[in-house]
Amino acid sequence: MLVVIRGAGDIASGIALRLHRAGMQVVMCDLAVPTSIRRTVCFSEAIRLGETRVEGVRGVLCADAAAARAAAAAGDVAVLVDPEAACVRELAPDALVDAILAKRNLGTTRDLAPVVIGVGPGFTACEDCDAAVETMRGHYLGRVYYEGSPIPNTAVPGLIGGYAGERVMRAPADGAFEPCMAIGAQVAAGDVCATVAGEPMRATIDGVVRGLLQVGVPVHKGMKCGDVDPRCHPEYIESASDKALAVGGGVLEAILSLSGEKDRRVEKNAQAEKNARSVNGSLSDEGFVSALVAELVAGRRVGLASLLATSGSMPRHEGARLAVLANEALVGTVGGGAIEQLAIERARAACSGAAPSLEWYHTGDAMACGGYALLAVRLLTADDLPVLFAVRNALQRDEPVCVTERWTDAAAPTIEVGPAARLSAPTWDDARATYREPVAAPSRLHVFGAGHVGAALVGLAAQAGFEAHVYDDRPELATCERLPQATSVTCGAFDELAAGAPIGPRDSVVVLTHGHAHDETVLLAVLSRDVQPAYVGCIGSARKAALAREHLAAAGVPAERVDAVAMPIGLAIGAVTPAEIALAIIAQLVRRRAERRGEGPGKGERA
């Protein structure tokens, strides 16, 4: 497998090491005068020296793409002066990795290679790359995002030895960089490590010089030019950092995963499901939030209409949102009818400069529902991106948060995101003119059984806002082609599948296997977990249900868990065909979800 990497700095070189050691051929592209700082562990040094070694792996400067292909095939890491990665057209690599780390995309697109990986902030998986890899130090370092983006740049270096920004040395002026210390030298705070236009660049902490730009590189005032490691381990200078190798591991995972045709289909289907969900219009809908982010990142305005409170009979309730994009496309919905038309008109006006608005609207004169809705309309701009990024990242990590909108000054409403509050549903505080909404990722639905009912259920589940994960032991049925709207499809033995499925406390489990013995196997595994899902249901007759309950009790499953199983499954609507049975099941799932959100029969059971 041939991989081209844009960039040859220390993170890119850590990636190259991982890929090279996994047996891949690597070609790296960089500037004619690289701006790498940790040069002792950068393959970019081959541009200056002709060749270099990083942890024993040789990097060689090549004159053109043909020479680079030959060098990579011979076991070296090939390095080209090719900042635009024009060699991709000639090399036709199996994968392209953008590791420039410019905090923004400098021209990488998904059509450049079969697999395209973006490293760090500035990339969005499924938009400008197939996967993106986290580079921020901390819990998520090296994580692969197959949808969404890495954490936005904070401009604060990660902690090393208790120091963050203090360990970085920056240019004191504009000019040519002139180092006066070698990488690896021991320094004390205040020591001069380089000069720029005669101005000294000093170390601000004690430690070992971890990196310096090469001599003569033109720099501007404030530019990062050096790094001091406070841990004082000289041997660290000659080896790739933990961060570089962690990111490299994420890139390796992404390439191996996306190179498989089945996994590529799963990714595509997950994206299709996300797009289907985006019509729901809520901050808990990642597709909806991503659509807003994409518009704002592109510099376009978005008019946002939101229902902050409702009473009486309404097609949708508080938390429903509709956005009007710059091209007048609509994303989301507040329920259709007259209120939808009003929301569209006012959101369009917001895009054209109209002031924010907040007012109650009565639908009784125009809609059969006859309820009241508090409709808020405002313009979204780039200033709202931090909140939207925080919401999207929380959804991707399945971490509940709370969004607060303050309309105390209706002409200048504010929005912020914070830790999850103890809210089961959105609330409007009229006295404080404050709206609070709990935001969490869509509920996961684990479907054990990919037969006719399971296949019908998956299609309905996607439309109802559930992430469907399907499990079966029949290879001919457990395929992405049969189940294009499933987020994932897994084939294996039911006992192993049920034991290993990532079932959480907000998830739902539906058991539809091809035999009562398999049903009981799955039920026993699920009901024996320490953490129980929010819903468990199993298909079958009343007699089968009675036998299953008896067997589960005999196996030691607590009575309250057995009694909680919806068995027979679904609402009693006289369902007979697979499609009808799936409809009965999804109706029960929607009702249970509404009950958990605190919506009574007046809201949760209307049609």
Among 439, 462, 483, the domain-final residue is 439
pLDDT digit string (tens) for 360-377?
988 654 444 568 899 999
Residues 255 and 288 in one domain: no
Residues 147 and 109 in one domain: yes
User: What is the phi-psi region of residue 200: left when phi exceeds 0, alpha when psi lies from -120 to 50, beta otherwise?
Assistant: beta
Q: Predicted confidence band at 280 (pLDDT cuts at 50, 70, 90)?
A: low
What CATH code is carried by the domain that includes residue 119? 3.40.50
Residues 297 and 432 in one domain: yes
Residues 456 and 429 in one domain: no
pLDDT digit string (tens) for 164-190?
889 999 999 999 999 999 999 999 999
- Contact predicate 438/457, CB 8 Å: no
Tokens of 349: 């006006």
Average pLDDT estimate for 470-481: 91
Domain count, the chain: 4
Residues 64 and 27 in one domain: yes
pLDDT at residue 282, rounded to an integer: 86
Residues 296 and 253 in one domain: no
pLDDT digit string (tens) for 207-252?
999 999 999 999 999 999 999 999 888 788 889 999 999 999 999 9
Lowest mean pLDDT among 193-197, 337-341, 410-414: 337-341
Cβ neighbours for 317, distance < 8 A, ≥ 6 positions apart: 307, 310, 426, 599, 603
- Contact predicate 468/442, CB 8 Å: no
Average pLDDT estimate for 295-312: 91
Residue predicted with more confidence, 275 or 197: 197
pLDDT at residue 147, rounded to an integer: 85
Phi, psi of 83 (to 5 degrees): -60, -25
- CA pair distance 99, 134, nearest whole angstrom: 11
For 290-348, give the DSSP string: HHHHHHHHTT--EEEEEEEEEESS-SS-TT-EEEE-TTS-EEE-S-SHHHHHHHHHHHH
Q: What percent of the chain has pLDDT over 70?
A: 93
pLDDT at 604 exceeding the cut of 70 = no
Q: Predicted confidence band at 58 (pLDDT cuts at 50, 70, 90)?
A: very high
Least Cα distance to 442 among 600, 222, 289 occurs for 289
Residues 307 and 203 in one domain: no
Grouping H, G, I as helix, E, B as strand and the rest as coil, residue 506 is: coil
pLDDT at residue 265, rounded to an integer: 45
In a domain, 603, yes or no: no
Domain hosting 208: range is: 165-230
Q: Predicted confidence band at 597 (pLDDT cuts at 50, 70, 90)?
A: low
In a domain, 604, yes or no: no
- CA pair distance 482, 485, nearest whole angstrom: 9
Lowest mean pLDDT among 286-290, 361-365, 380-384: 361-365
Residues 180 and 194 in one domain: yes
pLDDT at residue 212, rounded to an integer: 96
Residues 455 and 421 in one domain: no
Q: Predicted confidence band at 6 (pLDDT cuts at 50, 70, 90)?
A: very high
Cβ neighbours for 133, distance < 8 A, ≥ 6 positions apart: 117, 118, 119, 120, 142, 143, 144, 145, 150, 247, 250, 251, 254
pLDDT at 328 exceeding the cut of 50 = yes
Least Cα distance to 117 among 146, 154, 141, 157 occurs for 146
Residues 111 and 169 in one domain: no
User: What is the phi-psi region of residue 414: left when phi exceeds 0, alpha when psi lies from -120 to 50, beta otherwise?
Assistant: beta
Residues 426 and 283 in one domain: yes
pLDDT digit string (tens) for 92-124?
999 999 999 988 888 899 889 999 999 999 999
Helix axes 516-527, 542-554, angle to 10 degrees: 50
Helices (H), 418-558: 452-463, 494-500, 516-527, 542-554
Average pLDDT estimate for 269-274: 43
Residues 292 and 425 in one domain: yes
Among 407, 439, 471, the domain-final residue is 439
